[in-house]
Amino acid sequence: MTATCCSFFQQTLPLINSRLDALVPTDSSHASSDVVEAARYALLGPGKKLRPALAIAIYTLYHNDPSPILDAACSLEMIHTYSLIHDDLPGLDNDDMRRGRPTVHKAFSESTAILAGDLLLTHAFGTLADCSLAPEVRLKMTSEMSRLSGGFTGMIAGQAIDLKSEGKNISEKELEQLHSLKTGALLELSVLFGILGANPPSEDQHHLMKFAKLYGLLFQVVDDIVDVLHPLQKHGKAISSDLINNKSTYVSLLGLEGAQQKAASLMKEAEDCLNQLKVTTSPLKEFLSILKH
């Protein structure tokens, strides 16, 4: 998956990257400077920045200037990056490479990687609390961030189910529940941030939330397909990491062709959903283009 093809991304990525750089500045005078460097290594690395871009894309369907939503959008990337740093650790997936570079615990140390993840997680909430949106909007976003990235009904709950499911045969319904939490919840949160910031008409809110759910699922189905078809591009390894880790995936459950058919049908549903919005949807269509592998 690459996000450099499209005009919305071309315009928005520099904005996100420069704000992230400012929000997590290098400061060699702090005792924690190595942890800050490790956090910056992960945060400013070559990730697609899909989640902040999604929040900004939705906000700018209804408002011209993205600045009011920018810090809240960046807080989403902090949560996402923390989850990747921790997920790569020896106690979880034990991955050596991410985004074509050594993972944070390989480039620094395991203890530094744990703290860099912790730094980004806590700083995400601080960044959100300090942003310039109206207090009631920030409060609602904070509550939703805790809910959808957390361990009861969010990303961590999805990760916990994933760990329990390793080596087991699970049904398609169970796989969908796992991914709707592990991967989908943060994408849903990103759409929700755009909605909470922009306050679109309620009919549009309904279509956008439906789009969020479809997009989260489609993202995972495509990720499973890419894991099999292009493992080298994804992990820097010539073999599927899901296969190595004995994980149930859409490809293992439905076969490659079945997974590709599911991706095509989710893509169609997501496009139909966007076509019902009252505003131009070209930025959001770029998010779908990224998933056309």
Does residue 72 contact residue 22 with C-beta atoms inside 8 Å? Answer: no
User: For the chain, how many residues are written?
Assistant: 293
**Per-residue x/- mask for ligand GRG, residues 119 to 158, rule CB under 6 A?**
------------------------------------xx--
Q: Which residue is nearest to ligand GRG (CB)?
A: 47
Q: Which of 53, 56, 75, 86 binds ligand GRG (CB under 6 A)?
A: 86
Tell which residue, 148, 151, 182, 146, has the closest CA to residue 166: 182
The C-alpha atoms of residue 32 and residue 81 are separated, in whole angstroms, by 18
CA 207 to chain centre: 20
171: left (phi over 0), alpha (psi -120 to 50) or beta: beta
Quickly list DSSP for 119-153.
HHHHHHHHHHHHSSS-HHHHHHHHHHHHHHHSTTT
Nearest residue (CB) to ligand GRG, 183 versus 277: 183
CB of 69 to ligand GRG, least distance (A): 19
CB of 149 to ligand GRG, least distance (A): 8
CB of 97 to ligand GRG, least distance (A): 12
Contact between 99 and ligand GRG (CB under 6 A)? yes
Contact between 281 and ligand GRG (CB under 6 A)? no
Contacts of 262 (CB under 8 A, 6+ apart): 221, 250, 254
Q: Which of 87, 188, 204, 242 binds ligand GRG (CB under 6 A)?
A: 87
Contact between 227 and ligand GRG (CB under 6 A)? no
CB of 85 to ligand GRG, least distance (A): 8
Question: Which residue is associated with the tokens 């860099």?
Answer: 116
# residues near ligand GRG by CB under 6 A: 16
Contact residues: ligand GRG, CB under 6 A:
1, 47-48, 50, 83-84, 86-87, 92, 99, 155-156, 159, 182-183, 223
